[in-house]
A = this chain, B = another copy of it.
Amino acid sequence: MAIAGAVVSTEVDNLSCAWGIRMSISEITLEELNAEEFIEKQVAALSSTVGDEIAINALSGGVDSSVVTLLGHRAFGDRLKTYFIENGLMREGEPQQIVKWFADLGVKVEIVDARDKFFAGLKGITDPEEKREKGITQVFYKDVFADLVRQSGAKVLLQGTNYTDVEETAAGVKRQHNVFEQIGIDPEEAFGYRVIEPILQLRKPAVRVVARALGLPAEISERPPFPGPALAARVVGEATPERIETVRKATRIVEDELAGSGAFQYMAILHEDMVTGIREGRRDFGQQIEVRCWESTDAVTATPTELPFATLRRIADRIVDEVPGVVSVTYNVTAKPPSCIEAV
């Protein structure tokens, strides 16, 4: 089939071309996608490209990296080592939950505790781009992943970069943590390994179709997107362990309350600005949490979800009651554009 063929050929081009040259990537739309064929072709392409080498990948538990993990395990079996990097920036109970889901699918995932390395890398950084680049990307690839590659002997890294990531990075909107080639960085030269990105031509809804076809549970295939820098992207200003813990508590409440909303994505953002509050009749200068909940199909454009006002009020009451230091909660009412889905 021409379209699925195009996938493989683009992927092969992708691997065989000189690093550092920006290439054109053609999208496979939701309408064009035949999930079974896509899986078959990608598994075949991976097998033929990687040969007998050992491959490695990092699983975040999002739908993108989960699909890549299963495609990789179909292609390589035990020659693919899958790691969950505990960066200290994940949501409550997330590492354990994800390891369990994959154990149920017969895939072994190893948790790597890299919390100290990430918080050291994030220390003192307040600029969002610097946070992503220096605090997350550099630590992830150079400090954490390079070690794992050396230990495992892997020469290839599988990665879940999707079409929207490339598009937004190329457009200069936001540097995604997982886009190299398109911005002129050669990972083999910079970090010592090759990167293969099997879902580069798919946007999120198409990735979900592939996830279902691969037999991933609904908790993963329908999982709302979560940013690569994890909760560090949910903190305006410095991502200290204390501030991450604050936004983690608020995130649990928002996800708990909005799990049944059917929305594309929802989140809590801890702001740096302090606002005046009052508790037990006395001034309490405290923190503010912004809640965002989005309607979108592809993350390129999005509108805020019209949540029931009682839901918003309940979320606010729970956050100011249950999250120490927070006195104020707001709800985003701006569309993308000119807002972005994430604040950081």
A interface vs B, CB < 8 Å? Answer: 128, 171-174, 236-237, 271-279, 281-286, 290-291, 303-304, 306, 309, 312-313, 315-317, 320, 327-340, 342-344
Contact = CB atoms under 8 A, between A and B. Distances in A.
Contact of A331 (B237, B278, B286, B331): B331
Given A283-B173, A320-B338, A275 B333 contact: no
This chain: how many copies in the complex?
A: 2
15 contacts: A171-B282, A172-B281, A173-B276, A173-B281, A173-B283, A236-B273, A277-B337, A303-B313, A304-B313, A316-B333, A316-B335, A320-B339, A327-B338, A330-B332, A330-B334
A278 B333 contact: no
Nearest to A279: B338
B283 A174 contact: yes
B275 A343 contact: yes
A315 B333 contact: yes
B328 A332 contact: yes
A343 to B, nearest CB: 4
Contacts of A336: 278
Chain A interface secondary structure, helix, strand, loop or mixed? Answer: mixed
B320 A333 contact: no
A305 to B, nearest CB: 9
Nearest to A275: B343
A138 B335 CA distance: 42
A171 B278 CA distance: 10
Most B CB contacts (10 A, CB to CB) among A279, A290, A336 go to A290
Contact of A339 (B172, B283, B327, B340): B327
Contacts of A290: 330
A320 B343 contact: no
Given A128-B285, A173-B283, A273 B276 contact: no
A335 B303 CA distance: 25
A329 to B, nearest CB: 5
Contacts of A344: 275-276
Nearest to A168: B278
A327 B335 CA distance: 9
A231 to B, nearest CB: 16
A277 B340 contact: yes
A266 B279 CA distance: 22
Contacts of A329: 332-334
A291 to B, nearest CB: 8
A242 to B, nearest CB: 18
A317 B237 CA distance: 26
A315 to B, nearest CB: 7
A172 B316 contact: no
Given A281-B171, A285-B128, A306-B309, A328 B334 contact: yes
Contacts of A279: 337-338
